[in-house]
């Protein structure tokens, strides 16, 4: 399989090159040259398959031409050593809980797979690999923990100062070792810009080998499709299934759309956002107008220029009409997010995190005027946002042991301005 750049100005590359480079040389994002459909027999049998069995079939469809079967099986099974259950909330709405991994967030799937795949591809490398990642919260913790103490790899986590929850921050700033945490004096979009600029900087790339662990890297993006197949497999009624994804950088929903392209029978996708509504505006108007992000209580979605927008438009041949056939999108203010958390807890006994609240609300909105049933992606455990959630529901949220062990650690960070020069100076020193 070859992988091309969405900007189309560099030759296609191999899977190994796409993974180790992260970003294409023309600043585009890599995409597979084709998406093969999985056989009907797979979807006929999917209801009786385990998460690992489903994920291996999907992985073989994506990576089978480039990774030997036994090696790929080990990568998948080693990544997915936790459950991803589907929980019923109402007769028509289900939550796919992606917070049962090591850092209790959905990015454990993609980050753990990428860490293992990158280590697999660079096991004989003679140069140290430097992983750059921008985070608005959960990406940093999942990537840092996935790569922590992996030989031959250094990790640099860039995050917006004061814009992630205390628990999220502790998950990647207390590790030390081969993980460096950089507090950027700016927004997530600044962190993301700095990472992209680093890949295009000649001096930095001559001095060290760089790759990215954001969803701009295919090894992070494609494995996220695994749980869409698994969520569909657990739905009791598979006839008219829709899926809602809380969206910020749009890598998560892009993975779902790729799964749909390979035959996943999800009828429609819904992208829920906070007030950073660049994508809902695009759906309404056909115009994409990125802008500075606004801080909200659903901080992982505080993105004003989603990187994976170009992948979604590429996937649909840059047709706004085709995109709208498959995707609806709604945006919600903090007040609505708070109200949703409070109401769902009171009526159904289910506690949402702020991002899951956006997913529930957007799915409820869509189903109010459409037939079928649906599941939304519950991206993180509500205890990762204790201050916010406890204030909303008026009672304490128990801290799971997996999070409690991070809270006792000592924060180790370096504060830098939101400039490439500052990042270069730190990395080269």
Three-state DSSP state, 157? strand
- Domain borders along the chain are 69-106+221-398
Buried (b) or exposed (e) across 204-226, using 16+ Cβ within 10 A? beeeebbbbbbbbbbbbbbbbbb
Q: Identify the pLDDT of residue 408.
A: 77
CA terminus-to-terminus distance, the chain: 38
Residue-wise pLDDT for 228-245, tens only, equals 999 999 999 999 999 999
Q: Which residues contact 303 (CB under 8 A, 6 or more apart)?
A: 136, 188, 189, 192, 248, 249, 276, 278, 293
Question: Which two tokens mark 311?
Answer: 């992948």
Q: What is the pTM of this model?
A: 0.90
Report which of 395, 269, 402 is spatially closest to residue 323, judged by C-alpha positions. 269
Q: Identify the pLDDT of residue 166.
A: 85
CATH number, domain 69-106+221-398, options 3.30.413.10, 3.40.50.1100, 3.40.30.10, 3.40.640.10 = 3.40.50.1100
Q: Identify the pLDDT of residue 394.
A: 96
Q: Mark the ranges of the chain whose per-residue pLDDT is less than 70.
A: none
Query: Percent of the chain scored above 70 by pLDDT?
Result: 100
């Amino acid at each position: 399989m070859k992988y091309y750049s969405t900007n189309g100005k560099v030759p296609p590359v191999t899977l190994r090159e796409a993974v180790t480079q992260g970003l294409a040389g023309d600043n585009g994002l890599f995409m597979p040259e084709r998406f093969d459909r999985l056989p009907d027999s797979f979807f006929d049998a999917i209801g009786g398959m385990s998460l690992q069995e489903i994920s291996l079939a999907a992985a073989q469809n994506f990576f089978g031409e480039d990774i030997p079967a036994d090696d790929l099986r080990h990568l998948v099974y080693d990544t997915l050593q936790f459950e991803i259950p589907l929980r019923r909330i109402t007769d028509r709405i289900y939550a796919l809980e992606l917070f049962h991994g090591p850092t209790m967030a959905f990015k454990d799937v993609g980050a753990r797979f990428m860490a293992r795949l990158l280590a697999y591809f660079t096991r004989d490398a003679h140069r140290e690999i430097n992983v750059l990642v921008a985070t608005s919260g959960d990406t940093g913790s999942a990537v840092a923990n996935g790569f922590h103490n992996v030989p031959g790899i250094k990790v640099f986590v860039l995050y917006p100062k004061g814009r992630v929850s205390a628990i999220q921050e502790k998950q990647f700033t207390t590790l030390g070792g081969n993980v460096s945490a950089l507090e950027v004096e700016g927004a997530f979009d600044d962190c993301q810009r700095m990472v992209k600029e680093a890949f295009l900087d000649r001096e930095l790339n001559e001095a060290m080998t760089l790759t990215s662990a954001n969803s701009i890297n295919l090894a992070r993006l494609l494995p996220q499709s695994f749980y869409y197949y698994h969520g569909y497999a657990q739905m009791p009624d598979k006839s008219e299934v829709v899926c809602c994804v809380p969206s910020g950088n749009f890598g998560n929903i892009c993975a779902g759309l790729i799964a749909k392209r390979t035959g996943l029978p999800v009828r429609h996708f819904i992208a829920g956002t906070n007030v950073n509504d660049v994508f809902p505006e695009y759906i309404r108007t056909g115009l994409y107008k990125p802008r500075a992000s606004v801080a909200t209580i659903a901080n992982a979605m505080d993105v004003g220029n989603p990187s994976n927008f170009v992948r979604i438009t590429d996937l649909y041949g840059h047709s706004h009409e085709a995109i709208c056939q498959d995707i609806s999108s709604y945006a919600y203010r903090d007040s609505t997010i708070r109200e949703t958390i409070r109401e769902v807890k009171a009526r159904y006994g289910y506690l949402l995190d702020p991002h899951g609240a956006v997913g529930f609300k957007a799915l409820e909105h869509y189903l109010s005027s459409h037939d079928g049933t649906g599941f939304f992606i519950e991206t993180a455990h509500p205890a990762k946002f204790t201050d916010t959630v406890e204030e909303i529901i008026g009672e304490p949220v128990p801290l799971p042991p997996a999070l409690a062990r991070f809270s006792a650690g000592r924060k180790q960070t370096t504060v830098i301005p939101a400039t490439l020069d500052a990042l270069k100076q730190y990395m080269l020193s």
